[in-house]
Structure 1
Amino acid sequence: MVLANLSLLPYDILRILTRLIDGAEVVHVLSTCKTLHVYLKDDAIWQDQCARYYVTDRGLFSGETFFFIYSEVVHKYGPLLGLWASDNPYRGSVVEFRLDANAHGITGEVWQFRSGLSAAATQSRHVPNLPGYHRFVTISLSPITRQVQTRWHSYQDNDDSVPFESADRLLSFHVLSATNESQYYYHITGSSRLPDFPDPDQRPWYDDTRGLPRVQTEPAPMSSAVNPSFTPCCPFLYTAQTEAVKPAALSISYNDRRFPDVHAIWGLGAHIGTMFHDLRSFDLNGTIPRPGPLFLSRFYPLRFPSTVGDNPADDGWRPSTLEGIWLGPYVTHGTEVLYVYVDEAAREIRAMKVTGDMNVPQGAVSWAFRLEDRLHPHELPRDADGTRLSFGDDQDPLRTYRGWGTISGHGYMEELRARTNVYACVASPDEIRVIWYDLDPTFAPRYKRHKGRDVASETEDQYACIRRPAGW
């Protein structure tokens, strides 16, 4: 028999084989007979499993064995490690989970950008800010009880995608099942569907190689109607079932919420752009809307390619090396996160918003240019200050293109959306400059590649639970 032969394998070969399967499969294999069961708690085997999640030092978890670390922490929470993007309406958010020696475990942080682009907040309104990292949760092993302890950290900020700590309610991680709910914005002129996030047909930022944490899975809430059954006097957001299916996702939420089968409505009133932290759904079964359960943001694994960009001055420059996470400044909204990728079919470079604003929300393409539309220096508008700011006097080595950008009025209503002309310049392996020529020829934002963090160089405000990078 195969299993009998497997039990006769030398230990070194057995260890190599266990590296090829995940922890649950290791347990199944080593539980098939008494001979293999001897290795069930072999620390070297579980060291290999922990290494999949970059846990290589037992000291990170109070010196426990790798078997204990994997079974109590890594198996359940290891898939959290990395970046996640939420579907919070319009704005979205990015959260990051990383191994943290100071916390003796896993730390979860939300990316927070300083509001606005004032001179005090950044070197120039043309340059994006690096995010600050607000700690909101730590997961560690108690050295006393040897149990997993999850500590939620509250702080005062304007990001609403991660719930605040509450004295009488505990937060927890959940997995929400797949859903076909899409978000709509209702205005007196009608309803407009917001970009699906993720879009089933175009989601280059979604990392399908990562799994979800092994926590409780719950059915996603579902709306009961396609259109709201009442006409309010102010704008609001609602969800409705569509053809677009979104995959299962991580949720960070209160433990005592309920999911009634109602149409999810969030009354935002006149301050729609600033009241997301008060987001509520409403039960429309009655004539007057009644407050319903909290809206549950869905967090999806965000791809972070370890791409090294090519020098755009080289003849062998490859457009695919632009793919990755980029940061860009927007005049009235501050720094936003984008995912730049190549649409091979259209031969087009696109920058999709991972975080957005009330004009152009997450999931929309901010700007794009076709590789066939490369320009020569003499074809650029010489009268624009933005041209000189972006391209300078020596424009020969730069790759410049004619492209398009997305603009919209407040709310991203269909009748307010439009495309405008832009000029894009690949200035270096890690910088793209874009002139929104028809809007403001003097504004030449520089989009910069996010290449990861240097945690050692960051400064920490322990009282505010925030770490700030040194700068570009």
Structure 2
Amino acid sequence: MKTIPRTRKGLEYLPFDVLLQLFDNMPARDVVHVLCTCRAFYSLASDDAMWRSLSSRYGLHDNTYFGGRSWYIVYTRLLHTYGPMLGLWAGDHAYTGNVIEVRLEAGDLHTQGGIAFDMWCFRVLEPEEFGGPEMPELPTYRRLVRVDFTGTSTQNGPATTRCCCGGRLPTHRAQLSLLSSTTLGFYLLTRQGRYPHPDFPSADFHAWVDKSRYPRQMCSPAPYIDQTDLVPPQRRLAMVYTAPTAYLKPCAVSLTCEQGCINRQRPFLGFEEASPFHPRYYPLCHDDDHPWMDPFSQDWSAKNLAGLWLGSHGPHGTEVLYVEWTTHPPRLRAWKVTGDENVPRGALSWEASMGDPVRLSGSEHALCAKCLGDPVAYKFFGGTGTFSGRGFM
């Protein structure tokens, strides 16, 4: 009788690339436990090549400036937890919104390597610039938080989170928390009554949330306080307060520090804020697989316009938009990621029907010729835009 060989089903028989993919999606502690289960894996635990390969997935190829720490420590103590956060995050600050960028820094002779959290800052326009610049302006960066090994007392200790935005204050301990979903949102209270603020994210505007980029850490219950009965029914001065809405917002990240200076970096808001909570940040989708394409290319379509954009919004200056493409019907919708006291973050800024181009009237043709040059070189599509008085009431 012929003996049939047993099928090799153990993890140790998987290709190395497949193992790396599995390990990259497991908690770092579990990776170490798996590597200690058999001799075939145990040799990998002390193999810097594997930890270096896992680290390279987040863009780190040199660990020279991490305080002499091994690839194993850099990956398991820092990159595995915080590496998925690299990219842009949108804050739910009332009306204004906010954007922070999480970046990996390999370090140099003066600064140890780590992960930095920088806030996007746009220039505040002067009164004489009431019309605003015609073109959007690029943001500058303000350092909020850094996660690195600077405050770690031992070579094998975990990375620490430090606040770097205190100005004259020395760097001090900060906290990054992953918060559970919540129904809490914002309302505006005025002498005329109460007005709901757009949810962020909302039932109509949530495709921009990249749920694969949350940090790998325990999720804490989001604080919950309904201020509806805690504020007076009418106020002479407008005030923003917190109360539940109909939409359940997903998990979010919160940044705090013991001196409170992170919270003081929020964009200026002309309304009084009664909300006791720190802003929630959500991961923004930004597809790097679809680079910019020349509109005159035969392969170009309106779908190529989907993604993040900077827009010039008159006296409010530059704001961040997320342009969404829908196929049925074919249209583009631009949602505000950051906003202002007239049209806030979370609101629909404009939408355009991308079916058939429209024919210009005589006055429209003259206006387009003045702004764009020869209108023959363009296609025009109809749509609607949103504008509002202060408060978006």
TM interval, shorter chain, is 0.7 to 0.9
Q: How many residues align?
A: 368
Q: 1:399 aligns with which of 354, 379, 385?
A: 379
Q: Which runs of 5+ in 2 are unaligned?
A: 1-5, 261-267
Give the deviation of 1:252 after TM superposition: 0.4
- 1:298 alignment partner, one of 280, 293, 310: 280
In 1: Cα distance, 2:284 partner to 2:205 partner:
14
Cα deviation code 1:405-437 (max 9, x no counterpart): 100111011xxxxxxxxxxxxxxxxxxxxxxxx
Structure 2 residue corresponding to 1:78, chosen from 58, 75, 83: 83
Give the deviation of 1:297 after TM superposition: 0.4
Name the residue aligned to 1:6.
10
The aligned counterpart of 1:269 is: none
Q: Letter of the 1:67 partner, please give it.
A: Y
Report what 1:16 is aligned to. 17
1:116 to 125, 132, 136: 125
1:49 match: secondary structure: helix
> Following the alignment from structure 2 to structure 1, what is the Cα–Cα distance between the partners of residues 129 and 245?
44
Per-residue CA deviation, residues 209-248 of structure 1 (Å, 9 max, x unaligned), is 32x2234532112134655552233211122222201111
Which range moved further: 136-145 or 47-56?
136-145
- 1:232-243 alignment runs, 5 A limit: 232-243=235-246
Deviation at 1:150, TM superposition (A): 3.2
CA contact (8 A) 2:238 2:271 kept: no
- Asked if structure 2 preserves the Cα contact closer than 8 Å seen for 1:175 and 1:217, the reply is yes
Task: Specify whether residues 339 and 8 from structure 1 end up closer, same or farther in structure 2 by C-alpha distance, changes over 3 A only.
Answer: closer
Whole-Å separation in 1 of the counterparts to 2:114 and 2:171: 25
Deviations for 1:430-453, whole angstroms, at most 9, x for unmatched residues? xxxxxxxxxxxxxxxxxxxxxxxx
Counterpart among 339, 359, 376 of residue 322 in structure 2: 339
Structure 1 residue 274 corresponds to structure 2 residue 307: no
Contact 1:373-1:402 at 8 Å conserved across structures: no
Which of 90, 94, 100 matches 2:99?
Answer: 94
Paired AA for residue 224 in structure 2: M
Deviations 1:352-390 (A, max 9, x none): 110000000001111111012522455661453xx3453
SS at match of 1:204: coil
Closer, same or farther: CA 320–72 of 1 in aligned 2, 3 Å: same
Comparing 50-59 with 125-134, greater Cα deviation is found at 50-59
Distance 2:339 2:312 in 1: 11
For 2:62 and 2:130, locate their aligned partners in 1 and report how far apart those are by CA, in whole Å. Answer: 38
Q: 2: distance between equivalents of 1:349 and 1:256?
A: 43
Alpha-carbon displacement from aligned partner over 1:311-343 (angstroms, at most 9, x marks no partner): 333454312111111111111111000011212
Per the TM alignment, residue 347 of structure 1 is displaced from its structure 2 partner at its CA by 1.6
Q: Which amino acid aligns with 2:250?
A: P
Residue number in structure 1 paired with 2:331: 348
Post-superposition offset of 1:67? 0.8
For 1:410, the equivalent position in structure 2 comes to 390
Where do 5+ consecutive residues of structure 1 fail to align? 157-164, 258-271, 282-293, 414-472
Residue identity in the other structure for 1:252: L
Task: Provide Cα deviations, 1:98-144, integer angstroms capped at 9, x if missing partner.
Answer: 1123442212110000112789999x821111000111222222397
Matched, 1:173 2:176: yes
Are 2:308 and 1:325 equivalent residues in the alignment?
Answer: yes
Task: Give the Cα separation in 1 of the matches to 2:227 and 2:37.
Answer: 51
SS in 1 for 2:79: helix
From the superposition, tell whether residues 97 and 121 of structure 1 become closer, same or farther in structure 2 (CA, over 3 Å).
farther
1:398 Cα deviation (Å)?
1.4
- Calculate the aligned-residue CA RMSD, in Å: 3.2
Cross-structure match for 1:372 = 355
CA distance in 1, matches of 2:182, 2:199: 11
> Which amino acid is the alignment partner of residue 138 of structure 2?
L
CA distance in 2, matches of 1:166, 1:213: 28
For residues 282-331 of structure 1, the C-alpha deviation after alignment (integer angstroms, 9 at most, x for no partner) is xxxxxxxxxxxx42100000111222233333454312111111111111
TM-fit CA distance, 1:54: 1.6
Give the structure with the larger strand fraction. Answer: 1
* Partner SS for 2:247: strand
3-state SS, counterpart of residue 59 of structure 1:
coil
**Preserved contact between residue 98 and residue 106 of structure 1 (Cα < 8 Å):** yes
TM-score normalized by structure 2?
0.83
Q: C-alpha displacement at 1:81, in angstroms?
A: 1.2
Percent of aligned positions that are identical = 32
Residues 181 and 249 in structure 2, CA contact (< 8 A), matched pair in contact too = yes
Letter in 2 for 1:114: R
